[in-house]
Structure 1
Amino acid sequence: MILTGPAIAAARTAGDLTIDPYDPARLSPNAYDWRLGHRIRICETDLDAAAPTAFTEITLPCNGFVLEPGILYLGHTLEHTGSDRYAQLLNGDRTTGTLGIWVHVSAPLGHAGHAIRWTLEIRAAKAVRVYPGMTFGKLVFLRTYGAPASYQRHGLKYTHSEGIDTSRLYEELPGGPR
């Protein structure tokens, strides 16, 4: 079950979910409009699942930054969100989609018990200028069913994510990083 905008506001007031910074004007009928953060990592070389990702990190200038096709960019949400009671789904929206921007390649699920600034896996179909703090997508909150199973309590890899995380799949592969 997806929370409506008014239910998101009520759950936030009750302390059942976190959105920081929060602006009630960003509530939509079934979601919260989240924004692009101020930093981006540019992954310009080939990627290897068995090795840490090489990147260049920049602060997005106020006059914008042009995303180029064929490059993986890792960004972050301006908002820090989470809940012990609700799971979250991070989505792009029509506004960014019609600019040819994929806001995440995968990983749209935020588990209950996981409060984070989301890492975004950004791709562009054509060259497109983006700006720090621009609306970049929608976040929905989902009521969970069954016994609580908190992400935090399981000590999973990205438990303490507070910004842009690169892949750490290499930690799981035999022999560790190359």
Structure 2
Amino acid sequence: MILTGPAIAAAIQAGDISIDPYDPARISPNAYDWQLGDTLRICDGHLDAAAPTTFTEQHIPKQGFVLQPGLLYLGHTFERTGSERYAQFLNGDRTTGALGIWVHVSAPLGHQGHAIRWTLEIRVARPVRVYPRMTFGKLAFLHPQGVPASYQLQPAKYASSDGIDISRLYEELTVPSGATP
């Protein structure tokens, strides 16, 4: 079950959802309108699941930064969000999609107990200028069924994440010697 805007506001008041910084004007009928943070990581060269991703870091100035097609950008949400009671679902929205921006397509689920600034996967169809703290998507809260299991209590790779994080899949992989990208 998805929470309505008034239910999200009530859960924030009750301390069951944390959004920092929180702006009540960003509540929509079934979500919270989150903002893009001020830093991007631009992934360099070939990506290899068995090796850490190399990147260059770019601050997004007030006058904006132009994203280019064919590149993978990792960004972050301006807000830090979390809940021990609710799961979170983060996605882009129509306003960014209409600009040809695909954001956070592959990993939209935030587990109960995971309080984070989300790492965002960002791709664009055409060059597009983005700005820090622009509305970039929607965050919905879901009421899970069953016995709750906090993400912070699990042996999870990203439990201590707080901002832009590269893939850590390489921690799980063993690559045969002589393998090439």
Q: Tell me how far 1:175 sits from its aligned partner.
A: 5.8
User: TM-score by structure 2 length?
Assistant: 0.95
Partners of 2:123 and 2:78 lie apart in 1 by: 18
Q: Partner letter of residue 22 of structure 2?
A: Y
Partners of 2:125 and 2:4 lie apart in 1 by: 31
**Is the Cα–Cα contact under 8 Å of residues 83 and 113 in structure 2 kept in the other structure?**
yes
Structure 2 residues not aligned, in runs of 5+: none
Does residue 150 of the first structure (1) align with residue 161 of the second (2)?
no
1:1-178 mapped onto 2 (5 Å cutoff): 1-174=1-174
Partners of 2:93 and 2:46 lie apart in 1 by: 29
Q: Deviations over 1:119-174 (max 9, x none)?
A: 00000000000000000000000001101111110030000110000000000012
Q: Partner letter of residue 10 of structure 1?
A: A
Q: Partner letter of residue 96 of structure 2?
A: T
User: TM-score by structure 1 length?
Assistant: 0.97
| RMSD (Å), alpha carbons | 1.3
SS of 1:161's equivalent in the other structure is coil
Q: Tell me how far 1:105 sits from its aligned partner.
A: 3.3
SS of 2:142's equivalent in the other structure is strand
Q: Partner letter of residue 65 of structure 1?
A: F
How many residues are aligned here? 177
Structure 1 residues not aligned, in runs of 5+: none
SS of 2:104's equivalent in the other structure is coil
Q: Deviations over 1:85-143 (max 9, x none)?
A: 00000011000000000111300000001000000000000000000000000000000
Partners of 1:45 and 1:173 lie apart in 2 by: 20
Q: Deviations over 1:64-101 (max 9, x none)?
A: 00000000000000000000000000011000000000
Q: Partner letter of residue 162 of structure 2?
A: E
Partners of 1:113 and 1:51 lie apart in 2 by: 28
**Identity of counterpart residues, as a percentage?**
73
Partners of 2:83 and 2:48 lie apart in 1 by: 33
Q: Partner letter of residue 5 of structure 2?
A: G
Q: Partner letter of residue 173 of structure 1?
A: L
